[in-house]
Structure 1
Amino acid sequence: MKIVIIPSGFKECLNAEEVASSMDTGIRRFDRNVETVVIPMIDGGEGFAETIINIKKGKLIYKKVTGPVGEQIMSHFGVYKEKGIKTAVIEMAAVAGLKLVPRSMRNPLETTTFGVGELITAALDENVDHIIIGCGDSGTSDGGAGMAQALGVQFLNQHHQLLDIRGGGDLSQVEHIDLSHLDQRVAKVNIDVACNWHNILCGEKGVARVFAPQKGATPEEVEILSDGLEHYASLIQEAMGVDVRVIPGSGASGGLGAGLLAFTNAVLHPRYDIIMQYIQLEDHIQGADLVLTAEGCLDGQTPNGKIPSEVSRIAKLAGVPVIAITGTIGEGASINYTSGIDAYISIIQKPTSLESAMEEAAIWIADSAEAAIRQIQIGYNIAQRKYKRDVI
């Protein structure tokens, strides 16, 4: 039996490599002779830069920058050179990710992407020709305004006084955008952004309403953020002539996609269009008997560009069944049955706190993977007995 293991990470708990290792452990507890192919999957979020740099044999550069709640943190970006082109790989999660926001401080009204702009500046200082930015797992909803400030964009109030945008809650105060101090190097470097193509900036399905509650926003704060991003988008349209409200990917990472589109020489891409240039899933899935994938929470949003959905899409083209292992099963999860996932299993084994579940996650993932393979073996044995009876 050949099993291909292609998980996402469990956000704030285990990265994709750790999840994959646990799944492989569970399978091998049942049968050490099973052929497994382990492919920890990235989606632009946590692990994006390190994974690509490892594949390209580049180097990680560590730098102290501004974290999402305004404190100085040590972050990183990667650099590799290929065919004479020097490329930087930036992962927004490594500088403004939700994991970096203490639970007691989770309020996207007050979290910033300023550090993303600082990493872009640091990459430009390395004289790169190309920048790839992974958008995912963000703890922000400032429309990329913090990033823009770090690059020199100035936001002014109605009295033309300089504002310091500290989070999405400040966007409603902006009345003018001054581009005269913008770092001109961003216009001379090709910037490709790997983002969730389904995320848009504004409207009923805008990023504030869909994702801000996951980042700690109350219903009232969601409306403040939504109104602020709408106002921000109108100012961008006035200053630059581009309407970023519903451009695919504009809502990625709390609207960072829109900020990159407006203030840099960036092109937004469906994240897997970029990621699949580095990870050839089709080659590994072809000829497999089973694909195991994983995600921290499987719910009605999973088909909208999440890793299990992309994995199952490719597996279905190859006629390979898919089982998803998940931390929690959320609202609307059954829709995944129609998008290519044949079965899903929660790792939760008993009533428990979130903290305890995170501590036990690696063990429970292994247990769930083993249970899945044992159930498949039962089905195989039943089919074999039925075949023998029918033949006789």
Structure 2
Amino acid sequence: MHVLIAPDCFTGTLTAAQAARAIADGWRRGAPHDDLTLVPLADGGTGFIDVLRAGLDGEEHLVTVTDPLGRPVPAPLLVTRDDGRTTVWIESAQAIGLHLLAAGERNPDVTSSAGLGDLLLAALDLSPSRIVVGLGGSATNDGGAGLLARLGAGADARLTGGGAGLLNLPDDALPGLRQVRERFSGIDLVIASDVDNPLLGLQGASATFAAQKGASPQQAQDLERALGAWHDRVSKALPPPTDLMTGRARRYDREPGAGAAGGVGYALMVIGGRLRSGVDLVIDVLGVASAAAAADLVVTGEGSFDWQSLHGKVVAGVAQACLEVGTPCIVLAGRVELGRRQAQNLGLSGMYAVAETPEQVEASLADPVATLTTRAARIAGTWSPRP
């Protein structure tokens, strides 16, 4: 039997490549006669560059940018060329990721997206025809103010000081925003995002994601007001174009994905970016559909198979690709929090948890490779026919 192993990272414990190898090692133990193909995946967040670098013929450029608190940190750019077209691939988490901060440093009032602006400036120096920015796993909630400031939109220190400082910006804080948009006008700027939240509201950046970045409930409400004020300043500096379908001004703050990475999606849309599902993009460029069609079974996975898995995540993307080619797909996750009906609605043929009890969770966190390998070996014995 030919098995395609295509997991996401197991957040906080294993990268996608590590997870794929652990599953493969277990599968070989349980079904040594099977042929395995490993294709680690990502949805635009942490690990985006790693999985693309492994699957694409490209050059890596290492640059120094600033982390969410303004400290220098190395970050890679991946450059690929196809028929004279240069694409620069960027992973926002390399500059503004939550993993770059210690637990006590997480505070979206003060974390800034300026480092992502550094990455975009480095990408522009390579004269690309396309820039793809993977969004996800950020520590920021500043609406992309820091990155726009670093690109030249404005010099007010509050722009790079984090989300809280946006509440009191003057109306003329973004004198260079129009020029920034013009600079990107000849470039296909792609926002590879794993979320479809708008900038504001009950499903917006602050209400949905600020808490996991260290915000208290009161801070989240204050950040919501700050992002509302930020949208007002942006709209005054660069009035949005008219939507040809409705005849009304386009509302970037309401666009799906505007709330990605604490509102970085919004800032990229303002300067001309277009949204695309990160996992769909990765699946396309790595040829996952063709690999799935050639396989007898596909094994995908992630740290927690939960309600978020249903919206723009790797498991959902892989399951859809398998549905389209008629190959059965199963998910192996650290934890499973969805029911059988929800899994079947995704098109999955099975779901398996590494840990189901508190003791198993503790063991899994202590040795994620061994526990994932052991679970994969048992699953292989279930799915793989004896020769």
What is the TM-score of this pair, normalised by structure 1?
0.87
User: Do 1:30 and 1:374's aligned partners in 2 also have CA atoms closer than 8 Å?
Assistant: yes
1:275 is matched by which residue type in structure 2? V
In 1, are the aligned partners of 2:20 and 2:38 still within 8 Å (CA)? Answer: yes
Aligned to 1:366: 373
| Alpha carbons of structure 1 residues 168 and 356: separation in structure 2 relative to 1, 3 Å | farther
Larger radius of gyration: 1
The answer to whether the aligner puts 1:171 opposite 2:166 as a matched pair is yes
* Cα distance in 2 for residues equivalent to 1:178 and 1:240: 9
* Identical pairs, percent: 28
Q: Distance in 2 between matches of 1:194 and 1:224?
A: 28
Which residue does the alignment assign to 1:249?
A: 257
Q: CA deviation at 1:328?
A: 2.8
Deviation at 1:287, TM superposition (A): 4.8
1:294 paired residue number? 301
The residue type equivalent to 1:168 in the other structure is: G
Which of 310, 323, 331 aligns to 1:324? It is 331
**Structure 1 unpaired stretches of 5+:** 157-161, 382-392
**Separation of aligned partners in 2, 1:24 and 1:127:** 40
Contact between 1:59 and 1:80, CA under 8 Å: does it hold in 2? yes
Q: Does the 8 Å contact 1:28/1:34 carry over to 2?
A: yes
Query: Which deviates the most, 121-130 or 326-335?
Result: 326-335
Quote the Cα distance in structure 2 between the aligned partners of 1:283 and 1:215: 37
Deviations 1:243-263 (A, max 9, x none): 22221221121111101111x
**Matched residues in 2 for 1:170 and 1:332: separation?**
43
The 3 A distance-change label for structure 1 pair 224 and 340 is farther
Higher RCO (CA 8 Å, separation ≥ 6 residues): 2
Indicate the SS of the match to 1:86.
strand
- Does the 8 Å contact 2:335/2:356 carry over to 1? no
322-331 vs 21-30, greater mean Cα deviation: 322-331
CA distance in 1, matches of 2:340, 2:167: 36
Deviates more, 1:45-54 or 1:306-315: 45-54
1:167 maps to a residue whose letter is: G
**Structure 2: where are the runs of 5+ without partners?**
241-250
Aligned pairs, how many?
Answer: 373
Cα drift, residue 47 of structure 1? 2.6
Alignment-derived partner of residue 243 in structure 2:
none
Looking at structure 1, the residues matched to 362 and 380 of structure 2 have their Cα atoms a distance apart, in angstroms, of 28
Give the corresponding residue for 1:153.
Answer: 153
Deviations 1:213-234 (A, max 9, x none): 2222222222222222222223
- Determine whether 1:69 maps to 2:69: yes
**Structure 2 letter corresponding to 1:35:** D
Shift of 1:115: 0.6
Q: Which moved more, 1:61-70 or 1:272-281?
A: 272-281
After the TM superposition, which residues 201-280 of structure 1 pair with which residues of structure 2 at under 5 Å, given as runs? 201-242=199-240, 243-262=251-270, 264-280=271-287
Partner of 1:195: 193
What's 1:89 paired with?
89
CA contact (8 A) 1:50 1:60 kept: no
- Cα distance in 2, alignment partners of residues 331 and 280 from structure 1: 28
Alpha-carbon RMSD across the aligned residues, in angstroms, is 2.5
Most deviating of 60-69 and 315-324: 315-324
CA–CA separation in structure 1 for the residues paired with 2:280 and 2:8: 17
- What does 1:371-382 align with in structure 2 at a 5 Å threshold? 371-376=378-383
Bigger shift: 68-77 or 349-358?
349-358
| CA distance in structure 1 between the aligned counterparts of 2:147 and 2:109, rounded to whole angstroms | 15
Secondary structure of 2:263's aligned partner = helix
Amino acid at match of 2:8: S
